[in-house]
């Protein structure tokens, strides 16, 4: 009995210790075209004083703030600490509490903020320690994985100068000898992405995380993989729709007349919006509108799981919520089971990090993805 009580007491102490070390998140909001931050308890951290949000990672953010006619970058945290980053440097967050700073020039525009990173190099820092590592002649880009980071080789003596590739967190090539003009983004839980021809764009192939370039099919267009599928246009037979990681057409779709770009159309958690016209499924893209009562949701087998949705546009889902526009250019939020969590009461809506940002009756609001509860940003004080 005493042993059981001891285990329970230990569990309570451990739980309390975890609760006390809970990270205070930075949750952005927009008020009068300025960016501010609250925490997960809806308490104000920073008033709306920043001109732009550039990057966000948990309790840290990179922001821009107009100061003395210059656009300075600042790394801020949820405890009020603020570090200026010279605009001369490129900055981005990485997984595992890491971030990078890249120097594209040999000297900093502000000597006080000079981090002494050599030209073409990237310094990788840890957010919570003094740990850092210099990657010479490599420029990194924001990534969802530390094993396949999009990068550019900046070594002036390299035959691959300014060619795109993938590296690991040590700056080592993930795939030796793969350098291209276009390299797709490796989503963390997906096994493949796309690359373009080595000589020109518009000649896409599938690349796996094992380094295999699958050339059974070549594509005129291809996007990143979500739920194992990528939207694209196959070259020879002009097949259009969602393809699997072997290049096989799994879900044929059509597009509206005049469609030129196939950006931002994908699955999330196996669900995607589509338009049903005369028995055929259509993909509709951002900035396109088609008023119909025949919008629907499909799964990765191309089966309709929800039909009869009236809309002019339905966005791909982001964190379980889609933004739906009606014929009057009003917006509502819909969950991936087809249920609406708001009415068409928004003049604008954007799929932000934690909440959906929107405008209701001319006022800036945050909307909870779980239940549609609305918070007026002017009340964050």
User: Over the stretch 204-213, which tens digit does the pLDDT of each residue have?
Assistant: 999 999 999 9
pLDDT value at residue 68: 62
Ordered by start, the domain boundaries in the chain are: 49-179, 270-381
Continuous H helices in the chain: 2-20
User: Over the stretch 138-157, which tens digit does the pLDDT of each residue have?
Assistant: 999 999 999 999 999 999 99
Share of the chain above pLDDT 70, in %: 92
CA distances to 181, 233, 265 from 279, rounded to whole Å, are: 39, 21, 20
pLDDT value at residue 18: 38
Residue 254: pLDDT band with limits 50, 70, 90: very high
The total number of residues written for the chain in this structure? 381
pTM above 0.75?
Answer: yes
Q: What CATH architecture applies to the domain 270-381?
A: Beta Barrel (2.40)
Cα-flanking dihedrals φ and ψ of residue 136, to 5°?
A: -80, 140
**Least trusted range by pLDDT, from 7-11, 109-113, 254-258, 340-344:** 7-11
Gap between the Cα atoms of 33 and 36, Å rounded: 10
The residue with greater pLDDT, 19 or 315, is: 315
Question: Is the pLDDT at 268 greater than 90, yes or no?
Answer: yes
Q: Work out the average pLDDT over 226-241.
A: 96
Gap between the Cα atoms of 129 and 73, Å rounded: 21
- As a whole number, the mean pLDDT across the chain is 91
Question: Is the pLDDT at 13 greater than 60, yes or no?
Answer: no
pLDDT value at residue 11: 39
User: Over the stretch 299-347, which tens digit does the pLDDT of each residue have?
Assistant: 999 999 999 999 999 999 999 999 999 999 999 999 999 999 999 999 9
DSSP assignment of 239-264 equals -EEEE-TTS-EEEE-EE-TT-----S
pLDDT value at residue 92: 96
pLDDT value at residue 308: 97
């Amino acid at each position: 009995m005493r042993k059981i009580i001891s285990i329970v007491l230990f569990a309570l102490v451990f739980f309390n210790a975890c609760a006390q070390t809970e990270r205070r998140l930075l949750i952005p909001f927009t008020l009068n075209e300025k960016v501010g931050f609250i925490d997960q308890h809806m308490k104000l951290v920073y008033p709306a004083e920043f001109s732009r949000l550039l990057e966000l990672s948990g309790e840290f953010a990179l922001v821009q703030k107009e100061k003395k006619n210059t656009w300075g970058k600042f790394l801020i945290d949820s405890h009020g600490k603020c570090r200026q980053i010279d605009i001369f440097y490129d900055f981005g967050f990485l997984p595992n509490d890491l971030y990078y700073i890249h120097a594209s020039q040999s000297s900093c525009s502000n000597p006080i903020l000079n981090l002494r990173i050599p030209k073409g190099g990237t310094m990788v820092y840890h957010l919570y320690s003094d740990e850092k590592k210099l990657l010479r002649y490599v420029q990194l880009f924001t990534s969802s994985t530390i094993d396949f980071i999009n990068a550019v080789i900046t070594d002036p003596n390299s035959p691959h100068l300014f060619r795109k590739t993938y590296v690991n967190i040590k700056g080592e090539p993930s795939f030796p000898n793969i350098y291209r003009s276009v390299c797709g983004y490796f989503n963390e839980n997906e096994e493949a992405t796309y690359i373009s021809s080595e000589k020109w764009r518009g000649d896409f192939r599938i690349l796996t995380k094992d380094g295999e370039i699958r050339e059974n099919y070549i594509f005129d267009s291809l996007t990143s993989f979500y739920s194992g599928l990528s939207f694209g246009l196959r070259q020879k037979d002009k097949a259009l729709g969602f393809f699997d990681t072997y290049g096989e057409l799994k879900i044929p779709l059509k597009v509206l007349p005049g469609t030129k770009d196939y950006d931002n159309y994908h699955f999330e958690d196996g669900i995607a919006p589509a338009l049903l016209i005369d028995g055929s499924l259509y993909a509709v893209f951002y900035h396109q509108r088609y008023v119909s009562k025949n919008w629907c949701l499909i799964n990765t087998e191309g089966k309709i799981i929800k039909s009869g949705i009236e809309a002019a546009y339905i966005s791909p889902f982001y964190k379980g919520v889609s933004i739906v526009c009606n014929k009057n250019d009003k917006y509502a939020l819909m969950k991936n089971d087809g249920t609406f969590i708001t009415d068409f009461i928004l003049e604008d809506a954007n799929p932000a990090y934690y909440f959906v940002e929107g405008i209701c009756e001319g006022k800036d609001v945050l909307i909870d993805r779980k239940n549609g509860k609305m918070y007026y940003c002017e009340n964050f004080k």
